[in-house]
Amino acid sequence: MAGIGFELRKLMRHNDYLGIVRAYSYAGIVGAGPWVVSILGVIFLGFLSINHVFPPRLISEFQTSVTYLIATSLIFCGVWQLAFTRYVADRAFAREHHRILPNLNGLLIVAMGSAFALATLASVYLFAGTGLVYRLLMTALFALLTGVWVVAVMLTGLKHYRAIVACFVAAYGAALGLGLLLRPYGLVGLLLAFLLGQCLLFAGLLAIVYRDYPSRDFLAFDFLKRGRMYWSLMVCGFFYNAAIWADKFVFWFTPSTSQDVIGPLRASAIYDLPIFLAYLAIIPGMAVFLMRVETDFVEYYDRFYEGVREGASLSYIRNMRNGMVTSAKTGIFDIIKVQSLTTVLAFVVGPAVLRALGISLLYVPLFKIDVVGTGLQVALMGILNIFFYLDRRARVVNLTAIFLGLNLGLSIVSTHLGLYFYGYGFSLSALVSVLVGLVWLDRDMEAVEYQTFMLQPWTH
């Protein structure tokens, strides 16, 4: 299938500085676009409602509610995301494209139905003290976001990057506009605007699937058959999403670092803003990540395995293997180098940015360590992506388990050590995970020929 690599290589065809800048800009937009749009959309909607929503605490309740919805829905559907994306990739490789749409519909029924049931129970037993309309909106949003993540990750695996970014921009733009119209209705109005925006996003993503993968069947559950879904991918999908949010939940539910917001939901005023601003600094690293993986590495990767399948000469296979190894290592270290430069730049301009936003400079130390952590997370994503290409699922399970365990444990320790240690749990866990991943990746890349020709497939 035509991937983003073709677009990036076309932009760099002339091998001039303008082509390189255009290619990296394009990669940054499609790589980090949905995440940045999501963050900015929620922040701007709250910011533009400051003088129109009374009392002002309703804005905090809205942003906290949406943050929890995003976090919990990502963790919940992490069990399905990667495993189903692999199922779809297998069907595409076997030229069974007609199975993609009906099985996606089947998964959406299972995932969104179970999400709705879980959210209903939570609304009854955990949110009993909140309004009925608020609980209904939260329940609907949790189920809807679960569907959004399933479809978005599947399309990401199929490399529909531009379409995904366009859908996110349109949906969050609509949510922002509707939010401005509905903000006189307070928390309910803002949540309703967000719900309508997510409906538009979900419809847009589904339209891409219906357009590109038509089928005579509407509904199927073939993905639930034995051997169709890899349990290892289900585990690592859950571990990775849980690891990303582990430090946030620690600070949200530690009494000394948080406060009640609405119902059982808590927020950490000292931790939330710096970490989410730090995530905006991942754009350069994501650009390099997408450029290196989707151009140099994928090109050698495809040629290597095509040569293996079609019986190419040993010298050709070795040359392609050497190119794949070199491009993988170069790509990972380029991510680290570029993100390091971005981190230095964030250190320099960070105080000015916080001052311009009216944020106390007391947040600067935490912002700096969070920038380091988010940069390391981009490097970890690059390593995990290479492992996925090599089908080293056991490595991914172990690495994401390390990231989850360390982030959870070290973040708890940091809350006990005091203010100056906040954020170090997240950054240290990412650092250790990256170092372990680099060691494992080096071993696997050196033995890729042996693993390709001699080893039996890893168990499901």
For the chain, give every domain's residue range: 4-225, 274-451
> How far is CA 337 from each of CA 107, 333, 343, 407, rounded to the nearest angstrom?
40, 6, 10, 23
Q: Which residues of the chain, if any, have pLDDT below 50?
A: 1-4, 6, 456, 458-460
Give the distance, in angstroms, between the CA of residue 91 and the centroid of all CA atoms in the same chain. Answer: 24
Please answer whether residues 263 and 126 qualify as being in contact, where contact means their C-beta atoms are separated by less than 8 angstroms. yes
Q: In this structure, are residues 213 and 97 in contact, taking their beta carbons and an 8 Å threshold?
A: yes
Q: What pLDDT is attached to residue 459?
A: 42
pLDDT at 31: 60
> Rounded to whole angstroms, how far apart are CA atoms 342 and 334?
12
Question: Does residue 196 contact residue 175 with C-beta atoms inside 8 Å?
Answer: yes
The phi and psi torsions of 39 (rounded to 5 degrees) equal -60, -50
In this predicted structure, what is the pLDDT of residue 450? 65
- Quote the longest CA-to-CA distance of the chain: 72
C-alpha–C-alpha distance, residues 434 and 376, integer Å: 7
Q: Locate the DSSP E strands across 1-93.
A: none
> Residue 14: its pLDDT value, please?
56
Distances (CA, A) of 291 to 23, 103, 236, 275, 333: 8, 31, 25, 26, 13
Dist. CA 162–CA 159, nearest whole Å: 8
* Calpha distance 171→177 (Å, rounded): 10
